[in-house]
Structure 1
Amino acid sequence: MALYPTCLRVNRNPLFVAYATLSTLLTGCALPSADVSTPTATASVPSAWTQPAPTDAPVVDLRNWWKAFNDPVLDALVQEANTSNLDLALSQSRLREARLASGRTAAQYLPSLSANIQTLQDISATDTYFHASIDMVWELGLFGAAQSARQAAQAVAAAAGADTQGVRVSVVADVVRNYLDLRAAQQQLVHLQRMAALDERALSLAEVRVRTHQGSADEVTQARLRIEQVRATQALLQLASANAAQALAVLLGRTSLDPVWHQTPVNHILPALAPFALAQVPADLLRTRPDVHAAEAEVHRAAAALGLARSELYPRITLGGSFLYAYNITRNFRTRSDNAPAIGPIIDIPLFDWGRRRTQVDIRQENLNAALINYRRAVHHGIAETEGALAALSAQQVRVDALTQAATLLGERTTAAQTQARLGLTSEYDTLARQRAQQQSLAELDMALSARALAFVALYKALGGAPLPKSESEDPAHAATLP
């Protein structure tokens, strides 16, 4: 290394030259922290789903999957939840806190300057002095300490970003689920109102049949029993509707319900799920599920903690410097003996600690091993959850198809009975039972459609579907990629 004349003129103090030489040599001591690459689970991730996935239809956007219901009210609710949900706001605040703490960690290994001004007396209390000093401290963070500290802070921020995205995924799924529960309850109430009208008509006809000695009293009892059963079911559905509406209000950060939620839509009450195709494969879970990103960030944090523990095995070196200006106020002159600048290293060398530092390294190594296991577990859990959602979606689709056929057959049967009644071949009382059976079948079909819609919600929640953060820095996938 060449020494320039200006440097030689400034640094003539032999002690300072020795100190500068030592500092130059120690610059090669910044050993890297634990060498842990980004964990992957490619070998343990299947190439395709074992459960059948929907195909031959438009692909649903993972970031706007709820729009497959084509419901403007639902779209507005999701948008409002993304801006007003209190859990999400709390998580975002914690994310900002983690990022601020990360920046503070980076400043830990930068030089710090402080100034101090004070007056004091000597031991004999005869003279009063004015002291003004400038102090400098610089912890070098050698042997990988600074790098590991930065990596740990970045990992904590990445984990906070993943947690925020996880809250966003849950909030969106809960909004859609509660909205579907609300509409499903309203749809079932419509079916019950129609069945109640049929039961009231059947009761009226049964009473006429008893008076005319064409029927038995048991027919009247059965009609009244069905009416009371419908009333009991209506009470449960009204409670379910109220609970779903209240849950929506909480998710939207509101204290009151929106009257629009209880208004019956002009067309079909239950949002219809459009045909869709699943484009995601198991490997996509590594970049879409927030819990996988959080587990990955924990691996980086554990690796950084291991690096810090290893750096404790080596000397800790801090550079310190001070310049003091002293003035004797009593005698009105500047002192010379206390005005010399002081600079030098502070070296903390570990000699003997009964194996405490080495044990700490072993502990951090086990923490890293556990973090890697937890990462693989998160991936496997995500695959299992998605497979379960696909299985539920497939089963509900089979159920919908079967109930659709049953409703069609019952509709044809009811139409035939009504035709016979118009021709005088059968009575109105006999057709009411078939009309009620048809209405019951339609109610079961709507319940199956609701269950299929909820399975769709569970599927895209398992896939980590949610809107992307407003800025790239909030993206957990971006934040988890540590330099």
Structure 2
Amino acid sequence: MSAPSRPLALNALPVLTAALLAACASPPPPALPGAAPQAWSNAAALAQTAPAAAQAPAVSLRGWWKAFNDPVLDALVDKALARNLDLAQAAARFKQAQALAGGEQTRFRPTLSANAKTLQDTSATDTYVHASLNMVWELGLFGEAESVSQASRASLFSAQVRGQALRVTVVAEVVQRYLELQVQANALRLQDEALALEQDALRLDQARKEARLSTSDEAEQIGIRAAQIRATQASMRDAQEVAARALATLLGEPSPDPAWKQLAAGSGPASLRLAELPPDLLRTRPDIQTAEAGVLQAAADLGIARSALYPRLYLGGSFLYAYNLTSNRRTSSGSEPALGPVIDIPLWDWGARQLRVEANQHELDAALIGYRKAVLDGVSEVEVSLSSLARTSERVAALEAACGGAERRLGTQATLQGLGLSSRFDRLDLQRQQLQLQNELAAARHARSTAFVALYKALGGAPLPEGWVDLPDMPGRGAGGRS
């Protein structure tokens, strides 16, 4: 409960205003806890798997998918950024947040109102028309105006970051679905080769039996392998359809493009230059930015609660004009101007306001802990992605070496077959082994590409929308948010 508002004498206004303005500075933003690493512990392992990374082209955080050097993929990402329905919905909600934030900014500006009404005097003999012009200006002292403005910025930034989080997810999902379509199309081609190989093996087996060179049950084994291949192809086509439908949804289209099921397999992204992964870049993650906005919001709420402990000062003014409508004209008309400050002093509810300050202080402490946890979660996710990229790169290198060995064995067998020292039937097992290695290599390359996508998603990689507005610097923040 507050004491009644009381007008003060005009000659007290300069002294009172000077005293209050001296105490109106808002508290500085809190220092953010330092939780980002000085260097990535798994960066060295990745560098060992890619010794040529120092000469590799830089990978941009805002356009990392271009490292795949695939114009089709670039066009799909651009299309998704322009047409994705979730992004369109987030943009509309951001505009809503902008409109609401604009209303908060006008709270501490002078307001002007006018009204007119009829009144009777106490003797009920005269009726007057009252017309008034009123002005009220809430000064927002003791940091209240600054804290309200800070809260408004934090709320608007949170809405902006929610949209950016969707951009990060949409870009990563488009790339991931495209890679899935590539790997499934390539795997189906390899399975077609394997099926043709088994059909060739069946013809050779029949020819050997007709020549009475074999009496084995190889035909039955060939039939089993062929059936397994067809079953695998059915599963691959199902996965291909799922990926195509998901990609169409991301692009805001009702149905997928048939050409997506005929994509050529890619070898994966270019080598990663580790200089493009400084620890501060982690601050571009939307969840960390959201936690940072939460700290600023909690600090603003604390500032507002503290300002409520002090008197609230308004400047008010009015001009009243009255006109007598009745014939009993003791007075036909009159006017009365008024101007002066109004002060609202907290008395009886001061204890409750103090409790609100304590509660908001705990809220700020929790927000700072949440920020630190968000950074640690981000560090962990990036480290896991770096480790996965390093391990999958090792697997790709090993399988490439194995495929090279299989190619050499096939070349040796072809030479022996030309000399009559080996047969076409002997070549079948080597070809099966080669196809199996090619399948494993394609899967390993896909896993490496997936780890690459996960790494840049973990770093918050995506284009920033036009008109991006960053939060003001806070101690301990670093410059990563504006990368």
Distance 1:169 1:38 in 2: 27
Q: Is the 8 A contact 1:48 1:281 kept in 2?
A: no
Distance 1:182 1:335 in 2: 90
Superposed displacement of residue 120, structure 1:
5.1
Distance 2:282 2:41 in 1: 18
The aligned residue for residue 317 of structure 1 is 313
SS at match of 2:426: helix
Q: In the alignment, is residue 46 of structure 1 matched against residue 42 of structure 2? A: no
Higher RCO (Cα < 8 Å, 6 or more apart): 2
Q: Which amino acid aligns with 2:381?
A: E
SS at match of 1:33: coil
Instruction: Find the partner of 2:294 among 293, 298, 303.
Output: 298
Distance 2:203 2:319 in 1: 105
The aligned residue for residue 179 of structure 1 is 178
Distance 1:110 1:409 in 2: 78
Distance 2:114 2:330 in 1: 19
Distance 1:182 1:294 in 2: 33
Q: Is the 8 A contact 1:318 1:347 kept in 2?
A: yes
Q: In the alignment, is residue 214 of structure 1 matched against residue 213 of structure 2? A: yes
Superposed displacement of residue 246, structure 1:
1.0
CA-based RMSD of the aligned residues comes to 2.5
Distance 1:239 1:289 in 2: 34
**Cα separation, partners in 2 of 1:354 and 1:343, compared to 1, 3 Å:** closer
Superposed displacement of residue 470, structure 1:
2.1
Structure 2: gaps (5+ residues): 1-6, 48-52, 476-483
The aligned residue for residue 361 of structure 1 is 357
**Cα separation, partners in 2 of 1:334 and 1:32, compared to 1, 3 Å:** farther
**Cα separation, partners in 2 of 1:311 and 1:299, compared to 1, 3 Å:** same
The aligned residue for residue 437 of structure 2 is 441
Residues 118-133 of structure 1: pairs in structure 2 closer than 5 A: 118-119=117-118, 127-133=126-132
The aligned residue for residue 423 of structure 1 is 419
SS at match of 1:109: coil
Q: In the alignment, is residue 78 of structure 1 matched against residue 77 of structure 2? A: yes
Distance 1:333 1:440 in 2: 110
For structure 1, which segment, 303-312 or 352-361, has the greater mean C-alpha deviation from structure 2 after superposition?
352-361
The aligned residue for residue 457 of structure 1 is 453
Q: Is the 8 A contact 1:298 1:371 kept in 2?
A: yes
Distance 1:336 1:111 in 2: 33
SS at match of 1:257: coil
The aligned residue for residue 198 of structure 2 is 199
**Cα separation, partners in 2 of 1:231 and 1:123, compared to 1, 3 Å:** farther
Distance 1:96 1:335 in 2: 55
Residues 157-172 of structure 1: pairs in structure 2 closer than 5 A: 157-172=156-171
The aligned residue for residue 3 of structure 2 is none
- Count of matched residue positions in the alignment of Structure 1 and Structure 2: 461
Q: Deviation string for 1:54-108 (max 9, x for gaps)?
A: 4322221111111111100000011111111122222222222222222211110
Q: Deviation string for 1:359-378 (max 9, x for gaps)?
A: 11111001111111111112
Superposed displacement of residue 216, structure 1:
4.0
The aligned residue for residue 11 of structure 1 is none
Distance 1:17 1:447 in 2: 82
The aligned residue for residue 7 of structure 1 is none
The aligned residue for residue 9 of structure 1 is none
SS at match of 2:141: coil
SS at match of 1:136: strand
Q: Is the 8 A contact 2:33 2:368 kept in 1?
A: no
Q: Is the 8 A contact 1:152 1:305 kept in 2?
A: yes
For structure 1, which segment, 417-426 or 108-117, has the greater mean C-alpha deviation from structure 2 after superposition?
417-426
**Cα separation, partners in 2 of 1:65 and 1:74, compared to 1, 3 Å:** same
Q: Is the 8 A contact 1:70 1:271 kept in 2?
A: no
Q: Deviation string for 1:295-328 (max 9, x for gaps)?
A: 1111111111001111111122233332222222
Q: Deviation string for 1:191-235 (max 9, x for gaps)?
A: 001001001111232334445543345311110111111111111
**Cα separation, partners in 2 of 1:30 and 1:334, compared to 1, 3 Å:** farther
**Cα separation, partners in 2 of 1:258 and 1:334, compared to 1, 3 Å:** farther
**Cα separation, partners in 2 of 1:408 and 1:147, compared to 1, 3 Å:** same
SS at match of 1:244: helix
Residues 53-132 of structure 1: pairs in structure 2 closer than 5 A: 53-54=46-47, 55-56=53-54, 57-119=56-118, 127-132=126-131
Distance 2:329 2:202 in 1: 115
The aligned residue for residue 17 of structure 2 is 24
Q: Is the 8 A contact 1:157 1:479 kept in 2?
A: no
SS at match of 2:107: helix
Structure 1: gaps (5+ residues): 1-13
TM-score w.r.t. length of structure 1? 0.88
